[in-house]
Structure 1
Amino acid sequence: MKAVIQNEFGDSNVLKYTDVVKPVLGEDEVLIRTAFTSVNFADVKNRTGKKAKGNFPMVLGLDVAGTIEEVGENSSFSKGDRVIAFPKNGSYAEYVVAKDALVYQIPDALSFDIAATFPTVAILSYILIHEIGQVQETDTVVIHSAAGGVGSMLVQLAKLAKVKRIIGVVGNFEKEAYVKELGADVVTTYDTFVETVLNLTDGEGANVIFDSVAGDVTSQSMECLAFYGTLVQFGNSSGRVGHFKTSDVHSSCRNVKGFSLGTTRKHHPERLKPVAEKVCKLFEEDLLKLPIARIFELCDAPKAHDLMESRQYQGKILLKV
């Protein structure tokens, strides 16, 4: 079968389209014929060695949408089922293997390209909004990287939760119209977000801040987080460590909560199925949307990575397999 592999860390040129052996499935697993897979920022970090270990040859990719080709002895699925899944060993391939617990059936009305946009970003965002951030209708929330895949989902889910005020933070104002269309009330940039949040809240700050950037953004977020507020930290796209002091949370009664979808997939996969079902329903009913920025052929994975690293896109980047 065809797949995109890498044998070393580096820029997008290390990604090679080649023939590999089709994977073999175990008892509680399924073999999926990939229709589409999404490109996530974690793929870039894995490719460059900032996240992954050097277990070469390596196949990147977190999620797929496709059709089940073969099922293991104890699988609850059947051949021909249309599914989304988190595969075991990457998703930039014609066929992937996934454990039953990380496979979710999708409605017939949901096309594979649309389904491929959301497994990672929407399931993660739903958990962040409802379980970790526990947003309330009276809240002011701040969403960093609001034009990205997860940010786009967080804005829409906050809107569906009838949050009082949604502030989206972006790298430049070229993305303002897009983020407002998703449901943000105010869009600001990293240069001025602290001042903007404090001005809009009469100096009190935001109740919940969603931070996937880290670095200086984390400490700056603490400067505009309200008493009893929550900073939800779930990534470091800046590549830098974020810092806060114990004095930032003690007397102000503020708290910092961390979350990782990868950790949850590994240690508590049972948490994800009910969320996946809810997210599928929201997309089927057209209550959630994630625009497709561009679709590349699998062999053009390097070009997809170049576009992602440029940050000059809105929505989701997909690979057609």
Structure 2
Amino acid sequence: MMRAIVISATGGPEVLDYTDHPDPAPAPGELLVQVAACGVNFIDTYHRRGRYPLSLPTVLGREGAGIVLAAGEDVAEFAPGDRVAWTGVPGSYAELVALPATRALPVPDGMALDLAAAIPLQGMTAHYLTHSVHKVKPGDDVLVHAAAGGMGLLLVQMAKLRGARVIGTVSTDEKARLAREAGADTVLRYEGFADAVRDLTGSGVHVVYDGVGAATFDGSLACLRPRGMMALYGAASGAVPPVDPMRLYHGGSLFLTRPLLEHYIATREELLWRAGDVFGWVASGDLRIDVSRRYPLGEARQAHEALEARRTTGKLLLIPGL
């Protein structure tokens, strides 16, 4: 029996149960991996609360990194001893996980596994947002909400790598410092941000990357220049109410999308392209991953409480055996 974080009912962090759970076994096409670290993400809190329903009971978590212990039949790309990372694999808050080999990402030599666990979900999300949803170009004006969070710091850095002027929003002086260190040209507080962005840019920004949701949505639309793109990739402050499409017309033929990572890594080739770029930038030092705290696996409740209270910056990890 392994140890894992199991939920038997939806609700607050108190439903997270650190308990014994049967070891998984690799089916054909799967890998059995000893988990070195698990990524903690907002989508985990949505699953825990039932916003995105799961069959219960279940092991929570969808991201991590570790060492291959065994490979099922029909697996040719990986072997025991290989170091892999992944995202989108249910049951990752655990000491062991069985994952499809087609979702496994090779970890570069010399990269620590806990760092590798912090990269896939947020790194590839920032990649598809800046390289596909709106392909950032030199000179673009970009607004990044929650610019000192794990996603925000990556979006700031990737937009700067592509030559943009980046405006970030934050809630505290310390978060403002972190956003500037990541490369943000201007850092604003949330109150009155739409007017401030208009004053800075004149015509508005080319794209808004908004993972906050209800609290920032109206202001985000107001920040856009004609034909600008609103990429609503999360809802940390709550879901956005239904939107009248005529708001996009009156705003200047605006674009609004609610994208999902799974739709942008739908093929093995696209998955490896995005992961290869992000892992390569981290290995070369062009992209910095801020792991702000590592919790023992049994302290998943504390990690969720800190994340939802917005007491965190950067990435949170759970470490089995810590």
Aligned-partner Cα distance in 2 for 1:242–1:222: 14
1:85-164 equivalences in 2 (<5 Å): 85-86=86-87, 88-163=89-164
Cα distance change of structure 1 residues 152 and 242 upon mapping to structure 2, 3 Å threshold: farther
Residue 167 of structure 2 is matched in structure 1 by 167
Output one character per residue of 1:84-133: Cα deviation in whole Å (capped at 9) or x when no partner: 01263221101111112211101121101111111100011001001111
Q: Would the aligned equivalents of 1:173 and 1:188 in 2 still touch at CA under 8 Å? A: no
Residue 185 of structure 1 is matched in structure 2 by 185
Aligned-partner Cα distance in 2 for 1:285–1:221: 33
Aligned-partner Cα distance in 2 for 1:188–1:306: 26
Aligned-partner Cα distance in 1 for 2:237–2:211: 8
Residue 306 of structure 1 is matched in structure 2 by 305
Aligned length in residues: 317
Q: Would the aligned equivalents of 1:101 and 1:273 in 2 still touch at CA under 8 Å? A: no
Instruction: Please report how far the alpha carbon of residue 257 of structure 1 lies from its aligned counterpart in structure 2 after TM superposition.
Output: 2.5
Instruction: Please report how far the alpha carbon of residue 242 of structure 1 lies from its aligned counterpart in structure 2 after TM superposition.
Output: 4.5
Aligned-partner Cα distance in 1 for 2:61–2:215: 28
Aligned-partner Cα distance in 1 for 2:315–2:255: 31
Identity of aligned residues (%): 33
Instruction: Please report how far the alpha carbon of residue 268 of structure 1 lies from its aligned counterpart in structure 2 after TM superposition.
Output: 4.5
Helix, strand or coil: the match of 1:250? helix
Q: Would the aligned equivalents of 2:63 and 2:89 in 1 still touch at CA under 8 Å? A: no
Aligned-partner Cα distance in 1 for 2:272–2:92: 19
Helix, strand or coil: the match of 2:99? strand
Aligned-partner Cα distance in 1 for 2:279–2:292: 20
1:61-76 equivalences in 2 (<5 Å): 61-75=61-75, 76=77
- Taking structure 2 as the reference length, what is the TM-score of the superposition? 0.93
Aligned-partner Cα distance in 2 for 1:108–1:11: 39
Residue 280 of structure 2 is matched in structure 1 by 281
Aligned-partner Cα distance in 1 for 2:226–2:264: 29
Q: Would the aligned equivalents of 1:218 and 1:242 in 2 still touch at CA under 8 Å? A: no
- Taking structure 1 as the reference length, what is the TM-score of the superposition? 0.94
Residue 245 of structure 1 is matched in structure 2 by 244
Aligned-partner Cα distance in 1 for 2:228–2:290: 31
Instruction: Please report how far the alpha carbon of residue 172 of structure 1 lies from its aligned counterpart in structure 2 after TM superposition.
Output: 3.1
1:182-221 equivalences in 2 (<5 Å): 182-202=182-202, 204-221=203-220
Aligned-partner Cα distance in 1 for 2:29–2:268: 14
Output one character per residue of 1:226-284: Cα deviation in whole Å (capped at 9) or x when no partner: 0121111212112222454333333623212231014556x545422211011111111
Q: Would the aligned equivalents of 2:150 and 2:290 in 1 still touch at CA under 8 Å? A: no
What letter corresponds to residue 52 of structure 2 in structure 1?
K
Helix, strand or coil: the match of 2:74? coil
Q: Would the aligned equivalents of 1:173 and 1:189 in 2 still touch at CA under 8 Å? A: no
Residue 9 of structure 1 is matched in structure 2 by 10
Residue 26 of structure 2 is matched in structure 1 by 25
Moved more, 308-317 or 124-133: 308-317
Q: Would the aligned equivalents of 1:87 and 1:97 in 2 still touch at CA under 8 Å? A: no
Output one character per residue of 1:159-214: Cα deviation in whole Å (capped at 9) or x when no partner: 11111x10011233331001000010111122121011100012x11111111122
Q: Pairwise CA RMSD of aligned residues?
A: 1.6
Structure 1 unaligned spans of 5+: none
Helix, strand or coil: the match of 2:59? coil
Q: Would the aligned equivalents of 1:34 and 1:66 in 2 still touch at CA under 8 Å? A: yes
Aligned-partner Cα distance in 2 for 1:226–1:245: 19
Aligned-partner Cα distance in 2 for 1:243–1:87: 27
Cα distance change of structure 1 residues 320 and 48 upon mapping to structure 2, 3 Å threshold: same
Moved more, 227-236 or 245-254: 245-254
Output one character per residue of 1:52-73: Cα deviation in whole Å (capped at 9) or x when no partner: 33x2211111211111111122
What letter corresponds to residue 173 of structure 1 in structure 2?
D
Residue 39 of structure 1 is matched in structure 2 by 40
Helix, strand or coil: the match of 1:256? strand
Aligned-partner Cα distance in 2 for 1:4–1:229: 42
Helix, strand or coil: the match of 2:68? strand
Residue 254 of structure 1 is matched in structure 2 by 254
Aligned-partner Cα distance in 2 for 1:303–1:214: 24
